[in-house]
């Protein structure tokens, strides 16, 4: 089994509901960070995101995790109209212990995670060693709304 991390975000509709449904569907989730409300970074004018990071203990490869991410987004009826546009659900493979991928549709570790407080702050809750030395770029606001179980009433 391998430790992996997925980043989740939503800024359309029932944001917390989309995150809850995705986490419930992951299957090999062992922990979920707190939930952060985040100003959008890049892209068109849009509403604030709710973001969290899920930790998995999995036998899936990074490629298999990408397929899981796409399936979770499809179940949330995500529509891709424009890059960094609003979305019901966005799920990214952030990190897979011992695995590095550099392909056209998948880069692991995630190539922009160090630039994003909405990734590094929740990731740091679950894996402080991965956030060690990280400095917040202060792009947009990122505020912790509360713990996963506190806000959802659910564990992973």
Enumerate the active-site residues.
78, 87, 90, 92
| Residue owning tokens 């799920």 | 91
- The gap from C-alpha 38 to its chain's centroid, in whole angstroms, comes to 12
| Residue owning tokens 């939503």 | 10
**Euclidean distance between CA atoms 124 and 127, whole angstroms:** 5
Distances (CA, A) of 78 to 22, 40, 42, 117: 12, 17, 19, 23
CB–CB of 62/93 below 8 Å? yes
Q: Coil, helix or strand for 142? A: strand
Phi and psi at residue 146, to the nearest 5°: 155, 175
Q: In whole angstroms, how large is the CA radius of gyration of the chain?
A: 14
């Amino acid at each position: 089994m391998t430790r992996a991390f997925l980043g989740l975000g939503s800024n359309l509709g029932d944001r917390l509901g989309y995150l809850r449904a995705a986490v419930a569907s992951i299957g090999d989730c062992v922990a979920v960070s707190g939930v952060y409300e985040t100003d959008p970074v890049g892209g068109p004018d849009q509403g604030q995101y709710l973001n969290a990071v899920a930790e998995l203990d999995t036998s899936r490869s990074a490629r298999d995790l990408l397929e899981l991410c796409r399936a979770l987004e499809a179940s949330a009826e995500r529509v891709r109209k424009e890059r960094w546009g609003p979305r019901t659900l966005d799920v990214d493979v952030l990190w897979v212990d011992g695995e590095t991928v550099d392909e056209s549709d998948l880069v692991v570790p995630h190539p922009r995670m160090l630039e994003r407080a909405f990734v590094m702050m929740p990731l740091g809750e679950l894996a402080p060693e991965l956030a060690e030395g990280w400095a917040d770029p202060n792009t947009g606001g990122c505020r912790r709304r509360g713990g996963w179980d506190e806000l959802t009433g659910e564990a992973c």
